Each structure stands twice: as C-alpha cells, then as structure tokens.
Amino acid sequence: MISDFKELEKLAVTNVSKKVVLAMAEEADALDAVAKASAAGIINPVLVGNIDAIKRTADEIGVDITDFELVPAEGEYECAAKAVALIRDGSGDCLMKGKTATSTIMKAVLDKETGLRGSGVLSHIAVINPPTYHKLLITTDSALNIAPELKDKIAIIENALTVARKLGIETPKVAVVGAVEKVNTAMPATLDAAILSKMSDRHQIKNCIIDGPFALDNAISQKSCEIKGIESEVGGDADIILFPDIEAANVFYKSLAYLTDYPMAGLIAGASVPIILTSRSDTDMIKYYSILAAVSLV
C-alpha cells in the first residue's frame, strides 16, 4: 500500500514515462510542475497554448522547455478542445488543466462526440497526505457533482475505490460524512449514508467497507469514536471520505490547500483517461503531486 507521496513518486519514477497534455500551458505553477515531473523521468509533456506566452512564462520561472512538444492554440476553448483531441488521437495518456477554467476544460471533456467520457459519472478525487493522519486520505467530490443524489454517490464512491485500489488499498474503508453521526430524517445526507452502509453490508457495492453517517471527527479520529461510543471498522480509520455535496467537499479541500502545507493532489476519475485538475491558484507542488496521482492510474 502506498502510504505517502514519496512512495508514490518512487513508483512513478520506475514506470514508463507517460505523455501528459497540458491545456493552456501558459500558467507558471502548472508549467513548473510538468517540468519537475519531466526532469524526474515521470512524464513527457505536451504543451498546448500560445507558444510565445508559454515560452515567456517558462523564461520567467527559469524552466527549460526546449525538449517539450509545443502545440499552438489560442484562448481557453481552443486550448481545451485541442488538448482533448490530442488525447483522443492517442497522442497523450493524461489530460492536465493549465490556465483554463474548470468549466471550460470539462465542457470539452464531456462533449458527447469529441470528448473523453467514460462509461459512467465523472467525479473529482483529492488525495491528501496529512502528517497528523496515519495514511493517505481520499476525499470526494469537491469540483464536479454539485448536489449528488444517492445513485450519483454510488458512482462517486466507485470512482474513489478505483483510485484507492491503484494506491494498493485492497479493501478501502469509506466514511460517508455530514454534520452529525446519527441518522436524522431532517438531514437527507444522513439517510443516504445509512442506505450506502447497508448496500455495502449486502455487497451491492463490493470489495469495500462503507459506514455512516459520520461527522468528520468520527471518520478520522478513533478517540472521537471512543468518546461518542461509536463502534465501527471505518471510524477513525477511513481511507475515503464521501462528502454530502460539492460545497462541503470544496471548502474542506481549499481549507487544507490554503491553510496548511499538506501534500495533496486533485484529479478527475471516471473519464476515459485520468484528468489532472486542480485550482488554477493551487501551488506547483499540489500540481506536481496531482501528476503523480494521475499517472499511477494509467
């Protein structure tokens, strides 16, 4: 089992280099991240965007892109469409968001005729390495599904399970969280949590252990479970946290991204290829770690 990003980096270095297509590459942190991954032998970057702007950005941050493949495109929409087209043509293994907005690149990804749709729901996965937690923590969904219904939550869990198993977690523990740890008919998220737990018990969602509802503290703190009298295989030992909606997940993700220096990654699962998707204002290291997480799925 991969326990931190250092182990993930070692694994990535030993694998065959993957082609990562960066959409609208004239963004300093993303360009720095792909350069770092290239220098480590992890990826071969394909930079899509305004060539002069890309070169100017590279010069400003001191990155040598001489050996990188450059594909000219202008503006968010053309950059996103051309990057997706390169992936469809087999010229790339992973797609990465650069200066484009999330809505722009996802519109290109979700196009029914020219996009990168998979067979089911797409969802955002964050992989976090808190030094105060005893293993990697996967959270979902902070970027795509706004207010997922029960059927959507099942698909979101399945996507997270795929990532967890790629990280070597054979039977992932999934905590379905909300504001409280008891079922409350006035709080639909707690009802969904109870249903998902029972579905796991009856193997309708296989090869994992799902429990909930949990408040966040119960999901990641054994002490909290003991104090509150919660007996659970998942409580205090979650591998995956399913948040009730995009607002809760996004606030959690960005709180960690901007108030801590925890190593973390962001990507989209469920498409035909892994998609490296972080906030445009995320650090170069978050984007680098996101590359590591994405290439591990190829």
**Per-residue pLDDT tens digits for 128-171:** 999 999 999 999 999 999 999 999 999 999 999 999 999 999 99
pLDDT score for 12? 87
pLDDT score for 242? 98
Half-sphere exposure of 136 (CA within 13 A, CB side): 26
Average pLDDT, the chain: 95
pLDDT score for 119? 80
Q: Note the CATH architecture for domain 5-118+271-295.
A: 3-Layer(aba) Sandwich (3.40)
Residue 14: pLDDT band with limits 50, 70, 90: confident
- Other CB atoms closer than 10 Å to residue 149's CB: what's the count? 10
User: Residues 12, 292: contact at Cβ < 8 Å?
Assistant: yes
| Strand-strand pairing, 275-276 and 264-269 | antiparallel
Q: Is the pLDDT of residue 185 over 90?
A: yes
- CATH 3.40.718.10 occupies which residues in the chain? 123-250
**Cβ neighbours for 104, distance < 8 A, ≥ 6 positions apart:** 76, 77, 80
Residue 280: pLDDT band with limits 50, 70, 90: confident
Residue 260: pLDDT band with limits 50, 70, 90: very high
Residue 46: pLDDT band with limits 50, 70, 90: very high
Q: From CA 289, how far away is CA 40, in angstroms rounded? A: 13
Q: From CA 170, how far away is CA 154, in angstroms rounded? A: 18
Per-residue burial over 111-138, b = 16 or more CB atoms within 10 Å of its CB, e = otherwise: eeeebbeeeebbbbbbbbbeeeeebbbb
Q: Is the pLDDT of residue 65 over 90?
A: yes
Q: From CA 46, how far away is CA 34, in angstroms rounded? A: 9
* 3-state DSSP percent of the chain in helix, strand and coil, to 5: 40, 20, 40
Q: From CA 262, how far away is CA 71, in angstroms rounded? A: 34
- CATH 3.40.50.10950 occupies which residues in the chain? 5-118+271-295
Residue 289: pLDDT band with limits 50, 70, 90: very high
Percent above pLDDT 70 for the chain: 100
Residue 298: pLDDT band with limits 50, 70, 90: confident
More confident residue, 192 or 119: 192
Q: Is the pLDDT of residue 118 over 90?
A: no
Q: Is the pLDDT of residue 33 over 90?
A: yes
Name the CATH superfamily housing domain 123-250: Isopropylmalate Dehydrogenase (3.40.718.10)
Q: Is the pLDDT of residue 120 over 90?
A: no
pLDDT score for 1? 86
pLDDT score for 124? 96
pLDDT score for 82? 97
Per the structure block, which two tokens stand in for 186?
């006035």
Residue with tokens 């002069």: 52
- For the whole model, what pTM was predicted? 0.94
Percent above pLDDT 90 for the chain: 92
239-263 average pLDDT score: 95
Q: Is the pLDDT of residue 11 over 90?
A: no
Per the structure block, which two tokens stand in for 275?
């998609």
